[in-house]
Chain A
C-alpha cells in the first residue's frame, strides 16, 4: 500500500498548500473569525488604517503614527556641522517602500494607464481630442499622444468587432436610409431657429447620391459629448487666440462670419482639417463669450474699417442703429436683430421684446460733508443759571473752549434752540425737552388748570411776601423770585425752551417746589430766615414745621449735587417711564360673561379666548415644530406698555370707539348698542328664569343654538375695552413690538355690513338667510355679531314661536330653510335640558323607561348604530376639514333627512323627554354644520 501510495504521489500534481494533517482526537480548527483576521505586510507587521489625514496604511515608522511612540525620526543630523551637504528631503524620503511599489501611492515602475488604453482608432475620441488640441495653447500637442499609442483594445471593442462592428459606425441594427429629399446647398445658409430636418447631417451627405435598394447602413455614430474638463482659468468657452486660425487661418476681406453658424456646429469636430483655404494670421477675442451665446460672432475679433459702411444707404434699417454699422447686420436683418438683443435661445412662445427695458434712474446718495462723523454724542447742556455758572465755566474749559458770550460762541456750542434764536426763528412750540409733550391733551388741560391755580397762589404768595418785606422794612431783592416765577410761567406754557438743569425734589407738587426754590435762593443770599419766609403763611404750624424739615433735608441732599448730577445726564431718547408697566396686550376678558355662558353650557366661542402666542425658538426646535413666527423675537404673549395709574385702566364705562365711520353710522351704531345694552341684562335674567319655566328655556335654548354656531360675540364690552386699550396706548408710548393688529380689530366694520344685517330683519325667512350668511362668513368680525345678536334674538322669538306652533309643518316645502330649522332644533342638545338626563338622581328614574324604550323599538338601536358610524365619519370629516364645502352640504342634506326622522321620533315621544341617544345624536351632528 505504501509503495502504491508513493507511486501515486509521484504522479500527482498538487496545487496550493495542503491542510495540516489532523492529529488523533484533535478537533478541526475553527476558521478564524472575521474580526480576528488581520492584514499584514511582507514584513509581518500589521497593516492598519490610520485614516486619510494621518497617513493611510502603515503610516509612520513601523506603524507608529497614532501610537505611543509617534514618529520616530530616522536620525538627527546637526545642520550646523554639515550645513553644506544638507540635502533637501523630498516626499519620497518619508515614504515606505510599499508606497513606491506597484500598488502604492507613488509607483516607480511604468504602468499603462487608462489614458493609453484602446485609443487607437476611436474616431470619436480622436475628434474630441482634435478639438481639444485645437484649443490648446500649443497646437498639435496631441500629436505625441497619437504616436505613442499602446496596441491595446478594450474588451468591449473586441467583442463589438467580433459582432461585426466597424469603427466609425454606430451601434444598433442596420437601417435603410431614405433618400434625401432636399439636399441643402452648402453655399446657401439657412438662418433662423428652426432647422430643416436632417440639415445637421451635412457631413455625411457626400456619398448619398447613389442608393441601391438592398443596401443597408449602419446607424450613424453618435458624436460624444465633449467631456474634456476645463483646466484653464479663462471664462467659459473663451478660446483665447485661436492657434488654428493662426496656422491655417483666414483673413482677407473679413473671414466668413457665419462659418460657425448654428447649423454647422455638428461639423465643427469633423472639418477642422478641411478648411485649409484660409490664410495665416492671428485673430483672437478680446473677451469671452457669454454662456448663453451659442456661437461667438467675433464681435470684437477683427475690426477693420472695411467692415463699416461709409455711405448712407437708402435701405437704412428702421431700428435707428445708425451708429452701429457693422455690415453683417445689413446682410441678414433677421439674424442681426436677434443677435443684437439676445444671442441665446429664445424659448417657445416667447418673442424678443421690441422695446429695450428702460434703465432705472439711479439717484446717487447725497454727498456727505468731508468731516462728517456718523456718531452722535450728547453734549452736556448746562443752563447758565446763577448757581452753576462756575460749573459751566469748568465744563467749557475742560472742553478746551473759552467761555464767551453766546454771540461769539462757535456753532457747535450752541444748541438747536439757541441757533434758532440767532437765526431769528420763533421757538418751536412744545420743544422736545418738555415732558409735557408726551402728555395727552386732557392731561395737559388738567395740568394747566393746576398750574393756573398755583400761579394764582404764587402771585398771592409774592404779594404777601412783598407785604411782609415792606412791613419788615427789610430790603429784599426780588429778582430771583421773579426769575423763578418767569421760569415757571415758561413751563406752564408748555415750552421750557431752555433746559433747566435744576434738580427738583418736589416736582410733583409745583407749589411746594416753588417754595423750595425760593428757599434755596434765599439761602444763597445768606438770609437766615430763608426758611420762614418762603413758607406759605396760609399753612398750619404743623405743616410748616414739616415742610421746614423737608426743605432743610432736601437742601442738604440735593444742593450740593444737583448741578453736577444734572450735568452728567442727558435726557433719554425715549421716555423713561417708571409710570408704565408691561401688560399683556390681550387679556383674558371678563369672566362674568363666561360664567353665564358656562352656566348655560354654551361652551365654544363664548368661553374661548384666542391669543397670539410666541413659543420660544428653542422650544419649537425641541418639539420639532417650525417656528410659527420666525421673524419675531417675542416670547410668550405680545405685551404692551400701559400706564400703571392711568385713568383708563380704572375706567369701566367704555368710550365710544373712535373709528373712521361716518357720523350717521356711528349714531346708528350707538343706537344699536343702546338697544343691545338694554336687552342684555334681560337676556341673562331670562337665563335664570329658564330653569323654572320649560317653555321659555325651550326657545331660549333655541336662541342660543342659533347664536352659538354663529360668531361668539366677544361681547361689546370687551371690544370696547380693546378699543380703549389701543386708544390709551396710542396716547402713550407704544411698544414697538406691538403689532398693529389690535388696532385693526378694534375698528368697526363698514356701514354696509350693518345695513345688510339690519335692513330687513322683520320676517322669518330673511332671518334664517341671515343666519346662513353669518355661517358662511368668517369668524372675523366679532363686533358685528355682537350687534347682530340683538336683532337675531327678536327674530328668534318669532321664529321659535312659529316653529313651536307648527312643529311638523316645515317638512318639504322650501328646500333649505327647513333644514336650517331642524338643525336649530337639534342644537337644543346644548341646552340645559341635558343635565337632567345625566343627573344621577334623575337618571334612576329615567333609566328604567329608557330601557323599556330600547326594547320597544329596536329601530332606535339601529339608528344609534348608524350613529356610531356617523361619528366615525364625522371624525374623518374633521380630519379633512379643509375639504370643500360641497361635502359639507351633502352631509348637511343627509343630516337633514335624518333630522326629519328624528323629529318624527321626537314627536312620538313628545318634546319634553328626549332620550340620551337622541340628544347625543344631535350633539354629534353639531360640529358638522360648522365645518
Chain B
C-alpha cells in the first residue's frame, strides 16, 4: 500500500516545510506544524525513495524505483528535469550546497553527480568506487559522504582531492555529518550507530540498544548535536546522549517500524515516519500532531 516512507527533508532555512515521499509515486510538501498538505508532486513512475530540497526552498529533487532522478520546481509543481542513467533504484538524493548539483546514490553502487545548470543528460561524474549499493549520501560544502551496503563509508573530499574509505563492516543504512562538520554518524545493520571522527576515522562513540537488522532506517543528530537519534524496528525512536553514549530516551512511536526521521534544523522538533503517517514531536509544551499520510 501507500508508504510515505520518509520525511526526508526538513527545510533547512526555517523548518517550515517538510517533504514526504512514498510508494504512491508522489512527493508531498507539508507544513509540519499545522499538518497541512501544501502541494503534491507527481511524475515518478515508481515509488519515490528519497527526496531533498534546495537551500532556497525553490527546487526539490527526488529519486525512486524508476531509476530516475527528478528535479522539481517547488512553486509550479512541475518536473524541471529528469536525469536517467542509474541502472537501479535510486536510494538517496541530495543537493549540494548551492543546489547546482544533485547527487544520487543508487543500488547500482554508483553515486552520480547531475548538473542542474547545464542541459547535459549525462552525469558530471560518477563515483563508482562502492562495491555494493549506496544507501545514503550526504553533501557538505566540499565533501560527499556516502554509505554503502558494502560496509564502507566513503568520503570524497573535493578540496583535497582524496577519497577516505572507512570500513565499518556491516551494511550501512544511514550516515550523516554532525552539524559542526567534525564527525560522521554511521548507522549500520548490526544495530549499532557509530560516531566517527571525520578526519581520522576513529571511533568516538557507539550507540546501541535499538534494533536495526533488515531495513534501511534513518538516524540523525539533534539540532545542537547533543543527542543521537535513530529509528528502530521495534517502533521506537532512540535518543542517546552524544557525549556519554547513554540511552537518554526510547520514544515509543507506534507498533510498526519507524522508517525514517528528521530533526528540525534549529528547534527541538522531530519528525518520524511510520506506516502511512508522519508524526511531529516536540517538547512537552507541545503536543504531538499527527499528519495524515
Residues B209 and A612 in contact, CB atoms below 8 Å apart? no
Residues 179-199 of B contacting A (Cβ, < 8 Å): 180, 182, 194, 196-197, 199
Determine how close the nearest CB of chain A comes to the CB of B180; give it in whole angstroms: 7
CA gap between A601 and B190 in the complex, in Å: 13
In the complex, the chain A residue whose C-beta lies closest to that of B201 is A608
CA distance A635 to B125 in the complex (A): 8
CB of A183, distance to nearest CB on chain B (Å): 69
Tell me which of A838, A878, A916 has the highest count of chain B C-beta atoms within 10 A of its own C-beta.
A838
Given the complex of chains A and B, what is the CA–CA distance between A636 and B125 in angstroms? 8
B201, A603: Cβ atoms under 8 Å?
A: yes
- Compute how far the CA of A628 lies from the CA of B207 in the bound complex, rounded to whole angstroms: 36
Contact of B206 with A615 in the complex, beta carbons under 8 Å: no
Question: Can you name the residue of chain B whose Cβ is closest to the Cβ of A850?
Answer: B246
On whether A622 and B117 interact (CB within 8 A), knowing A598-B168, A607-B167, the answer reads: yes
- Report B-chain residues with C-beta under 8 Å of the C-beta of A624: 97-98, 141
CA distance A254 to B72 in the complex (A): 87
| Inter-chain CB contacts under 8 Å: number | 160
Q: Is A868 interfacial (CB-CB < 8 Å)?
A: yes
Instruction: Say yes or no for A629: interface residue by CB 8 A criterion.
Output: yes
A618 CB within 8 Å of chain B = yes
Is A875's CB under 8 angstroms from B180's CB? yes
Question: Among the listed A594, A595, A607, A615, which residue makes an inter-chain contact with B125, where contact means beta carbons less than 8 Å apart?
Answer: A615
- B197 engages A927 (CB within 8 Å): yes
Q: With the chains together, A766 CA to B163 CA distance in Å?
A: 37
A903 to B124, CA, bound (A): 55
Indicate if the CB atoms of B97 and A610 lie closer than 8 Å.
Answer: no
Chain B residues with CB under 8 Å of A867's CB are 243
Q: Which residues of B contact A353 (CB under 8 A)?
A: none
* Bound Cα distance A636, B127 (Å): 7
With both chains docked as a complex, state the minimum distance between the C-beta of B126 and any C-beta of chain A, in angstroms: 8
Is B88 among interface residues, defined by CB-CB distance under 8 A? no
Q: Contact partner of A619 among B124, B162, B206, CB < 8 A? A: B124
Residues on B with C-beta less than 8 A from A192 are none
Contact assessment for B162 and A610 in the assembled complex, using a CB-CB cutoff below 8 Å: yes
Q: What's the minimum C-beta distance from B135 to chain A, rounded to whole angstroms?
A: 17
Q: Could you say which residues of chain B place their CB within 8 Å of the CB of A84?
A: none
Specify which chain A residues have a CB less than 8 angstroms from the CB of B163 in the assembled complex: 610-613, 637
Complex-state Cα separation, A467 to B128, whole angstroms: 64
What string of 1s and 0s marks CB contacts (under 8 Å) between B243-275 and chain A? 111110000000000000000000000000000
For B202, give its contact among A598, A620, A920, A926 (CB under 8 Å).
A926
Residues of A within 8 A of B180 (CB): 875
The reply to whether the CB of B2 lies closer than 8 angstroms to some CB of chain A is: no
Asked if A805 CB lies within 8 Å of chain B CBs, one says: no
Contact among B117, B131, B209, B244 for A920, CB-based, below 8 A: B244
Q: Are A838 and B158 in contact (CB under 8 A)?
A: no
Q: Least Cβ distance of A181 to chain B in Å?
A: 66
Shortest A37–chain B CB gap in Å is 35
Task: Give chain B residues whose Cβ lies under 8 Å from the Cβ of A878.
Answer: 182, 199
Q: Does B203 contact A (CB under 8 A)?
A: yes
> B94 at the A/B interface (Cβ < 8 Å)?
no
Asked whether, in the complex, the Cβ of A601 is within 8 Å of the Cβ of B203, the reply is: yes
Tier of interface size on chain A: 35 or more
CA distance A923 to B117 in the complex (A): 45
- Judging by beta carbons under 8 Å apart, are A875 and B182 in contact? yes
B168 to chain A, nearest CB (A): 7
Q: B152 contacts A588, CB within 8 Å?
A: yes
CB distance from B28 to the nearest CB of A (A): 29
Q: How far is the CB of B131 from chain A (nearest CB, A)?
A: 8
Residue of B nearest to A627 (CB): B161
Asked whether A924 is an interface residue with its Cβ less than 8 Å from the other chain, the reply is yes
B-chain residues with CB within 8 Å of residue A838 when the two chains form the complex: 206-209, 245-246
Contact B201 A927 (CB under 8 A): no
The interface residues of chain A lying within 8 Å CB-to-CB of B285 are: none
Contacts of B205 in A (CB 8 A): 920, 923
Residue A616 lies at the interface, judged by CB distance under 8 Å to chain B: yes
Say how far B182's CB is from chain A's closest CB, in angstroms: 6
A835 and B206 contact, CB distance less than 8 A: yes
Interfacial residues of chain A within 872-931, with CB under 8 A of chain B in the complex: 875, 878, 916-917, 920, 923-924, 926-927, 930
B129 at the interface (CB under 8 A from A): yes
In the assembled complex, the CB of A882 is this many whole angstroms from the nearest CB of chain B, namely 12
**Contact bitstring A780-809, B, C-beta under 8 A = 1, else 0:** 000000000000000000000000000000
- Which of B115, B165, B202, B208 interacts with A604 by CB under 8 Å? B202
**Residues 800-840 of chain A: 1 if any B CB is under 8 Å from the residue's CB, otherwise 0?**
00000000000000000000000000000010001101111
A620: min CB distance to chain B, Å: 6
Bound CA–CA A605/B203 (angstroms): 10
Interface size range of chain B in the complex: 35 or more
Known: A611-B163, A628-B160, A635-B125. A605 touches B201 (CB 8 A): yes
Cβ-defined contact, A623 with B202, below 8 A:
no
Q: B113 near A: Cβ within 8 Å?
A: yes
- B159 lies within 8 A of A917 (CB): no
B34 within 8 A of A: no
B291 at the interface (CB under 8 A from A): no
Residues of chain B within 8 A (CB-CB) of A625 are 141-142, 158-159
User: Shortest beta-carbon distance, B20 to chain A, in Å?
Assistant: 28
Tell me, yes or no, whether B204 is within 8 Å of chain A by CB.
yes
CA–CA, A323 and B215, complex, Å? 96
CB distance from A847 to the nearest CB of B (A): 8
Would B129 and A637 count as touching, CB distance under 8 A? Answer: yes
CB-nearest residue of chain B to A597: B167
In the assembled complex, the Cα of A620 lies from the Cα of B165 at a distance in Å of 20
The listed residue (B194, B208, B243) touching A839 by CB distance below 8 A is B208
A871 sits at the interface (CB 8 A): yes
Find chain B residues with CB under 8 A from A615 CB.
Answer: 125, 156, 158, 161
Q: Which of A599, A623, A878, A920 has the most CB of B within 10 A?
A: A623
Kindly state whether residue A626 has any CB partner on chain B within 8 Å: yes
Q: A607–B101 contact, CB under 8 A?
A: no
A920 to chain B: which residues have CB within 8 Å? 205, 243-245
Residues of B within 8 A of A628 (CB): 158-162
In the complex, what residue of chain B is closest to A709 when comparing beta carbons?
B202
B142 CB contacts on chain A under 8 angstroms: 623, 625
Q: Please tell me if B24 contacts chain A, counting CB pairs below 8 Å.
A: no
Closest Cβ of chain A to B111, distance in Å, is 11
Residue ID in chain A nearest B151 by CB atoms: A591
> Is the C-beta of A614 less than 8 angstroms from some C-beta in chain B?
yes
A532 in contact (CB, < 8 A): no
A residues within 8 A CB of B76? none
Instruction: Give the CA-CA distance A247 to B115 in the complex, in Å.
Output: 75
- Proximity bits, B68-101, A CB within 8 Å = 1, else 0: 0000000000000000000000000000111011
Q: Which of B113, B206, B209 contacts A616 (CB 8 A)?
A: B113
- Residues of B close to A614: CB separation below 8 A: 161
Is A316 at the interface (CB under 8 A from chain B)? no
Which residues from chain A contact B200 at a C-beta distance below 8 Å?
A: 604-605, 608, 927, 930
Bound-state CA distance A604–B167 (Å) is 9
Is B55 an interface position by the 8 A CB rule? no
Chain A residues lying within 8 Å of B244, measured Cβ to Cβ, are 916-917, 920
A74 to B126, CA, bound (A): 65
Residues in A neighbouring B167, C-beta threshold 8 A? 588, 591, 594-595, 597-598, 607-609
CA distance A635 to B124 in the complex (A): 10
The residues of A with any CB-CB pair to B shorter than 8 Å are 584, 588, 591, 594-595, 597-599, 601-605, 607-616, 618-620, 622-629, 635-637, 830, 834-835, 837-840, 843, 847, 867-868, 871, 875, 878, 916-917, 920, 923-924, 926-927, 930
Known contacts A840-B247, A868-B243, then 13 further A-B pairs from the complex at CB < 8 Å, ordered by chain A residue: A597-B167, A603-B196, A603-B201, A604-B201, A608-B200, A613-B156, A613-B161, A614-B161, A619-B125, A623-B141, A628-B161, A830-B203, A840-B208
Q: Give B contacts to A, CB under 8 Å.
A: 96-98, 100-101, 113, 115, 117, 124-129, 131, 141-142, 152, 156-169, 180, 182, 194, 196-197, 199-209, 243-247
Name 5 interchain pairs, CB-CB below 8 A, sorted by A: A591-B167, A623-B97, A838-B206, A840-B208, A920-B205
Top-5 shortest CB links A-B: A628-B161, A603-B203, A613-B163, A604-B202, A616-B125
